[in-house]
Amino acid sequence: MTLVWSPRPYAAALAAAATLALAACTGGSGASPTGTSTSSGSSSSGSGSSSSGSSASGSGSGESGSGGSGSTSSGPASTTAATAACVRSLADRMSPERRAGQLVMVGLTPTDSLGDAEARVARGEVGGIIYLGGWSGASAVKAAATGLQAAARAGGIRLLVAADQEGGQVQQLSGTGFTPIPPATEQGSMTPAALETEATGWARALAAVGVNVNLAPVADTVPASIGTANGPIGHWHREFGSTPQVVGPHAAAFVKGMHAGGIAATVKHFPGLGRITGNTDTTSAGITDSTATVDDPFLQSFADGIAAGADLVMVSSARYPNIDPDNQAVFSHAVVTDLLRGRLGFSGVVVTDDVGAAVAVSAVPVPDRAIRFVAAGGDIVLTARTGDVTPMVTALADRAAGDPQFAATVDAALLRVLTLKTARGLTTCSPDHGARPDHLLPPGTRSADHVPAPTTSAKRPGPHSPHRPDPRHGRSAGERPVEETAS
């Protein structure tokens, strides 16, 4: 099977920017034009691998682009080089702990202390948060985002603020200010053009409250023969359809709609959860897909989402023995680097599914979850549990301090994250701040007058694990609280 993928022009320019930044720190070596590593990496055993690729982020519709051939020194090529130099400078000025912190995203529930979260952000312990636990009302969500971004501002790099707004059972944000979103099975019955229009409206609602990343759409294909017996996706009607020919165009439309509304999009759960029966949040049984290969037709829906400009790809915690017989996908160099970055050419940010409370990874010590994922070529470790942050950050920083190869891997991941943030207007390095919505700029700054400074630094029942509903909003008896899991 031939997977069809091509980067959007703006994404390609950002990939070039991160490649230049990576090359600057490696003496000219680094990522190839396709986003795959020019050096060989080790396995994901935790010893550290040379990370592949450099970051590309699909920009929102209407955002100014850069790139293309035949650029003069005063055109897009020089802009890309300047952006890369700025991103490199940001990275170089960060302490080891803050560098590691940029690679961690943590859950935030309505009952968590916002003051504690802001202090954690101000210390540089995390680079992103995800709303979990069922938030109600736009005002509460916006207030949290405003406070957190103010805390991040001191470090010159703002947060990725994420939500799980797929639709149906998976909507972490509900109530006033948020329109109920139909389940993906209903979205799949729309034309892609209609879905893109609808998704644009859903994205604008997120942007209005300070969210800048949606951990959606689901690009998993659930075969009709499995249907609702598929624990993580089919059971909750999270799939667009039962064939990649249906899923792919709708995943792409959802991505485009998110961009048109000013939100970064995430395709998940690579390389696909559609054939398993167990839910990785709640079990380590029934999570092996013995059919998937590197030529799996079900990969096409992910390729379609990437071609539409997906900013992030979320990797599953399931097992795919025909691709990697030894490691779960989230810890697999063969999945993250060789397949996703290599064969599919994705050079953007790779994020985990929840590796905090998820039972599927419970046998792996918390620090090792972070180390093994980054060693495999990943970028952002997502945990629903605040208690995981310190051991994960410490482990990443300590391993980088004692292992030059792993340090280079962390550096490559950091550059991809900073390049994504720059693409979304979250650092002072963005070359097109003037085209960005004001809510993406530093607090108190208007898009019309901001100048980059490269040298300075009706309430809807909702799920709480995207894989299942929460008790306070209709969760089945005996299931774990939402705040324990993400995506």
Do residues 51 and 412 make contact, with C-beta atoms less than 8 angstroms apart?
A: yes
- Report the C-alpha gap between 87 and 78 in whole angstroms: 14
Q: pLDDT for 186-206, tens place per residue?
A: 999 999 999 999 999 999 999
Identify the pLDDT of residue 11: 44
CA atoms within 13 A of residue 358's CA, in its CB half-sphere: 32
Q: pLDDT for 389-426, tens place per residue?
A: 999 999 999 999 999 999 999 999 999 999 999 999 99
The domain in which residue 50 lies consists of 41-63+96-427+458-484
Q: At residue 281, does pLDDT exceed 50?
A: yes
Tokens of 394: 């410490």
pLDDT average, residue stretch 322-346: 98
One DSSP character per residue, 219-254 reads -----TTTGGG-TTTGGGT--S-SSHHHHHHHHHHH
Identify the pLDDT of residue 81: 87
Q: Is residue 441 part of a domain?
A: no
Identify the pLDDT of residue 154: 76
CA nearest neighbour of 236 among 254, 218, 255 = 218
Q: At residue 138, does pLDDT exceed 90?
A: yes
Residues with Cβ within 8 Å of 48's Cβ and at least 6 positions away in sequence, in order, are 42, 371, 375, 399, 403, 405, 406, 407, 409
- pLDDT class of 431 with cuts at 50, 70, 90: low
Q: At residue 477, does pLDDT exceed 90?
A: no
Identify the pLDDT of residue 447: 32
Identify the pLDDT of residue 432: 55
Peptide bond into 9 cis (omega under 30): no
Strands, E assignment, 121-235: 128-131, 135-136, 160-163, 165-167, 170-171, 173-174, 213-214
Q: Is residue 15 part of a domain?
A: no
Q: At residue 303, does pLDDT exceed 80?
A: yes
Identify the pLDDT of residue 78: 59
57-61, 96-100, 305-309: least confident range: 57-61
Output the domain CATH number for residue 375: 3.20.20.300
Identify the pLDDT of residue 430: 77
Identify the pLDDT of residue 77: 61
Residue 34's CB is within 10 A of a number of other CB atoms, namely: 17
Q: Across-strand partners of 29? A: none
Q: At residue 212, does pLDDT exceed 90?
A: yes
Q: Is residue 30 part of a domain?
A: no
Q: At residue 45, does pLDDT exceed 70?
A: no
- pLDDT class of 82 with cuts at 50, 70, 90: confident
Do residues 274 and 316 make contact, with C-beta atoms less than 8 angstroms apart?
A: no
Q: Is residue 104 part of a domain?
A: yes
Alpha helical stretches, state H, 237-362: 244-260, 300-307, 333
Q: At residue 470, does pLDDT exceed 90?
A: no
Q: Is residue 448 part of a domain?
A: no
pLDDT average, residue stretch 92-101: 97
Identify the pLDDT of residue 349: 98
Q: pLDDT for 250-260, tens place per residue?
A: 999 999 999 99
Task: Specify whether the backbone of 444 is left (phi greater than 0), alpha (psi in -120 to 50) or beta.
Answer: left
3-state secondary structure of 430: coil
% of the chain surpassing 90 pLDDT: 70
pTM of the model: 0.79
Q: pLDDT for 8-37, tens place per residue?
A: 433 444 455 445 444 444 444 333 323 333
Q: Is residue 23 part of a domain?
A: no
Residues with Cβ within 8 Å of 390's Cβ and at least 6 positions away in sequence, in order, are 125
Q: Is residue 453 part of a domain?
A: no
Identify the pLDDT of residue 403: 97
Identify the pLDDT of residue 76: 52
Q: Is residue 451 part of a domain?
A: no
Residues with Cβ within 8 Å of 170's Cβ and at least 6 positions away in sequence, in order, are 164, 216, 236, 238, 462, 463, 466
Identify the pLDDT of residue 79: 59
Identify the pLDDT of residue 155: 76
Angle at the Cα of 472 from the Cα atoms of 469 and 473, rounded to 5 degrees: 50
Angle at the Cα of 252 from the Cα atoms of 206 and 107, rounded to 5 degrees: 40
Mean pLDDT computed over every residue of the chain: 81
Q: At residue 180, does pLDDT exceed 80?
A: yes
Do residues 393 and 314 make contact, with C-beta atoms less than 8 angstroms apart?
A: no
Please provide residue 6's backbone torsions phi and psi, each rounded to the nearest 5 degrees: -150, 135
Number of structural domains the chain divides into? 1
Identify the pLDDT of residue 485: 53
